[in-house]
Amino acid sequence: MADAVKLSCATCGQMNRVAQDRLAAGPKCGACGDPLADGRVIEFDARAHDKATRSDDMALLVDYWAPWCGPCRAMAPEFVKAAKALQGRARLAKLNTEDNPQIAQRTRIQGIPALVLYRKGREVARLAGARPASDIVAFVQGNLS
């Protein structure tokens, strides 16, 4: 698998190697069978967040949010639309900062919603505030080319 990317499973934590030409086909975890990149938004816990942001080769956009945040709730359907539009090119995930304040502090999240784009274990770019799906897609595409 010369042209393969590493993707961590948000469910079981298993690291998977997936051929790049299979990313748009909705690959599944080799250990637990859960989807790895099927165009849906992933709900991260602290363990899954840390593993994916440090290890995944594929672009990963994390929405740092909280349930009490009105703009966060308003942006949620747009984030889902963006996840579908970016299937095969990037994974989109959410991390509840209310449940994971240590991660919000460590990643220097100062306001929510905050979108942070990671790739190959490094932060690539940030975007603050609620955005429509088209802005989210353009942000990811613009920072990956």
**Pairing outcome for strands 122-128 and 114-119:** antiparallel
Residue ranges covered by each domain of the chain? 39-144
CATH class, 39-144 region: alpha beta
Marked catalytic residue, from 12, 29, 32, 72: 72
pLDDT tens digits, one per residue of 74-127 = 999 999 999 999 998 999 999 999 999 999 999 999 999 999 999 999 999 999
pLDDT digit string (tens) for 84-97? 999 989 999 999 99
Q: Is 72 among the residues known to form the active site?
A: yes
* Predicted TM-score (pTM) of this structure: 0.93
Give per-residue pLDDT as tens, 16-63: 999 988 888 889 999 999 999 899 999 999 999 999 999 999 999 999
- Contact yes or no for 35/24 (Cβ under 8 A): no
- 27 near 4, Cβ under 8 Å? no
Q: Which is the catalytic residue, given 9, 12, 29, 69? A: 69
The answer to whether 69 is a known catalytic residue is yes
C-beta neighbour count of 26 within 10 angstroms = 14
